[in-house]
Chains A and B, each alone.
Chain A
Amino acid sequence: NAGVTQTPKFRVLKTGQSMTLLCAQDMNHEYMYWYRQDPGMGLRLIHYSVGEGTTAKGEVPDGYNVSRLKKQNFLLGLESAAPSQTSVYFCASSYGQLLDNEQFFGPGTRLTVL
């Protein structure tokens, strides 16, 4: 099993450009999450999904959109990138609700917006 994979690993964008980050999991998990990690801020939840076709907002959703068309994939989109979106993005998945269901994280995508 590959676990949780993220594509791409690194990306540099110019302000105003758009891009999509792909997260894939092969553990048949229902729940998937997108986080961003910034220095001194820990990990903050952007959006999450509790099943195929569902999405919900996290702590910092502005400027991002997500889609969960297939159970194994969770896409994070930036329509018009801003320097404030420079960050490391982590995807995670879990079998179910948090209690007794740990979140498994991908290796991260380092995004720089110039």
Chain B
Amino acid sequence: DQQVKQNSPSLSVQEGRISILNCDYTNSMFDYFLWYKKYPAEGPTFLISISSIKDKNEDGRFTVFLNKSAKHLSLHIVPSQPGDSAVYFCAASGHTDKLIFGTGTRLQVFP
């Protein structure tokens, strides 16, 4: 039972355009959401987070949107750069010390 779902295994975007990565969750107890970025042969690195009391959080080129009623969050990257090519994991937590990760979306940014 996958509580955090990333239904798009891959996404290809042209440099300079917007990348939108999506994530859905099923557990209404989740109240904290994170995005991690992973390059090959490296560990994931934290990118941005949002708590359930907000519907948007922005950090430079990265913005995360949360729609609690739809149990959906998205990560927007504007403008996309070749260095953004990586696997992006959505993760969620609910009043615990544990993170539940999605399966990841591989983003490729081409020139």
- Real binding pair: yes
Which A residues lie at the B interface, using CB under 8 A?
A: 4, 31, 35, 40-45, 48, 50, 58-59, 90, 92, 97-99, 102-108
Would A31 and B44 count as touching, CB distance under 8 A? no
User: What CA separation (Å) do A36 and B41 show in the bound complex?
Assistant: 14
B residues within 8 A CB of A108? 41-43
Q: List A contacts of B89 (CB < 8 A).
A: 42-43
Contacts of B103 in A (CB 8 A): 40-42
Distance of B50 from chain A, by nearest CB (Å) = 11
5 further contact pairs, Cβ within 8 A, besides A4-B43, A102-B46: A40-B103, A42-B102, A92-B43, A98-B96, A108-B42
B63 at interface by CB-CB < 8 Å: no
Q: Which residue of A lies closest to B4 (CB)?
A: A42
Q: Which of A43, A45, A48, A105 contacts B45 (CB 8 A)?
A: A105
| Inter-subunit contact A104/B46 (CB<8 Å) | yes
